[in-house]
Amino acid sequence: MTKQRCVHQERFRKLVQRLKKTLRLSSASDNSHGLTELVSLHDLPEECLSIIISFTSPRDALNLASVSKTFESAVQSNIVWEKFIPPEYKSLISQSPDFLSKKEVFFALRDKSILIDDGKKMLWKERENAKRCIMLSAMNLSITWGNTPQSWRWIPDPEARFEAVAELLEVCLFEIRGRISSRFLSPRTRYSAYIVFMKQNICYGFENVSVEVVVGVVGQNLEDSCRRYVCFDEARDEQFRRRDRGKNLVKPERRKDGWMEIKLGEFFNEGGLSSYDDIEMVALENKLRHWKRGLIIRGIEIRPTKIRQ
């Protein structure tokens, strides 16, 4: 027997123990009505098993299906997987191919990204914890002078995910804003927002220039601690480092897909059925007014914050 199968069986055993304890308590409370025999899990209707499993996690559900024939059929039910996908999934993936089951919807979101909102947003789930992630394309952002041909140019996305990305031709006022409803995100989750970009061969105006960024809930007064400064240029001289030491300057990092990203900030999404907020992300440089050129903006990506060990 493999080590992984032993782990699955141990999780299954603990879950069964919890379920039996629940049934035993229920039986004890109903003794006054003549119920004296403990109900077996195998005697429960399949629909009832599906409801019970829906209160676990996707990993637990798959583990149960792999170690017990009794649960295998119950795990396939839409009752189970409907709990693991966004409640508003129909509106989120309305432009995607039809799915035969809620389980297919879950794995479609987990294993690959889905374009939504007329191809202006990309939605997926993290494999580790099934938390929702989303990326706002450049077309979904508010870019100052973005519709001015002399300032910005819209070009096809090199990876053919979004229809187009924004290429900076030349501006002195650099301002990018993104906004999203928290309903797209997982509730009770801390998120980080990143601007995703690439540098052209000819790129200038960002050397030793700090860009102010802020992330927060629209309508709330943001504390100074919410504001931070980033630099799109990786090479910074010592004088610039000393000058901006107190600004907690954030530098770009290279991603596995070849693009660069800079963390704009974090926020906590309380979420809930009736608790939706608009989250705004801003990157602004309007003080030095240096002429700037050579960035390609793909969008802003929002994903759960990694907890540092």
Any idea what the CATH number is for the domain that residue 148 is in?
Answer: 2.60.120.260
pLDDT of 84 > 90? The answer is: no
Cβ neighbors of 214 (< 8 A, separation 6 or more) are: 222, 226, 227, 228, 264, 265, 281, 282
Do 197 and 267 sit in the same domain of this protein? yes
pLDDT of 164 > 90? The answer is: yes
Do 88 and 231 sit in the same domain of this protein? no
Do 9 and 125 sit in the same domain of this protein? no
Looking at 85, 111, 137, which one is the last position of a domain? 111
Residue 61: domain span: 2-23+43-111
Do 152 and 270 sit in the same domain of this protein? yes
Do 142 and 223 sit in the same domain of this protein? yes
Q: What is the pTM of this model?
A: 0.71
Instruction: Tell me the percentage of the chain whose pLDDT exceeds 70.
Output: 71
Using one digit for the tens of pLDDT, what is the confidence trace for 3-50? Answer: 555 555 566 566 666 655 655 544 555 554 544 444 566 667 788 888
**100: CATH:** 1.20.1280
Q: Is 280 part of a structural domain of the chain?
A: yes
